[in-house]
Amino acid sequence: MAKLKLTKTELKAQMDDLKRFNRFLPTLQLKKQQLQLEIRKSQSLFEENERKFKELRARLSRWTALLGDENIVELITGTVKIKRIVAGENNIAGVNVPIFERVEFSVKEVDLFNTEFYVSAAIDAVQQLISILEAGKILRRQYELLQNELRTTTQRVNLFEKVKIPECKENIRKIRIYMGDQDTSAVARSKLAKNKTQNLEVPGGNKEDAA
């Protein structure tokens, strides 16, 4: 750490820094609050997604006996393929996060006359399950990004509140004390010099009187 310079120039620099830190701190504090709110929303959406996933999986479990046939399972897995996952992007509290939109599937046509009646419904349910699963992955990524940003923002708030601002205030105090002492010393030296000058002066009188 550089040694503090006890000068007027350094005093001005420290005061400018203090103003800047005090100006930025409220913005960081507001961002921290916004992130905390968005994280709670993200967590709620993720929990809702998990609930839907469990409910749909529970409904599918009723078909366990029907889907237990290896031929039927192979038919469904061979019929439904993920073509692509479509996701957008949104800025939340200064953080760019992915937003789930949809899953596009490539679905092979099924000959309904030669398959069981429930296969079509099972294929639709599988697509829903996959969509919910992929949405959950993106929601988890949102949560992680927001958490990382909150961690960084909290560190900055703590740096300003607990380090930078107190440090500037202490430096300003030290410089002012030093400059005050210097002013006091200068006044004292000036008085001392004046007294010495007065003591060296010879009392006035004319030369004739002295003779």
How do the pLDDT tens digits run along the chain, 211 residues long? 578 888 999 999 999 999 999 999 999 999 999 999 999 999 999 999 999 999 988 877 766 555 555 555 666 677 888 999 999 999 988 899 999 999 999 988 766 666 666 677 778 888 898 999 999 999 999 999 999 999 999 999 999 999 999 999 999 999 999 887 776 766 666 666 666 666 665 455 454 444 4
Domains of the chain: which residue ranges?
Answer: 8-167
What 53-57 contacts at long range (C-beta under 8 Å, 24+ apart), as own/partner pairs, is 53/129, 53/132, 53/133, 53/136, 56/125, 56/128, 56/129, 56/132, 57/129
First to last CA, the chain: 72
Residue type, 89: E
pTM confidence score: 0.75
CATH architecture of 8-167: Orthogonal Bundle (1.10)
DSSP-assigned beta bridge partners for residue 91: 96
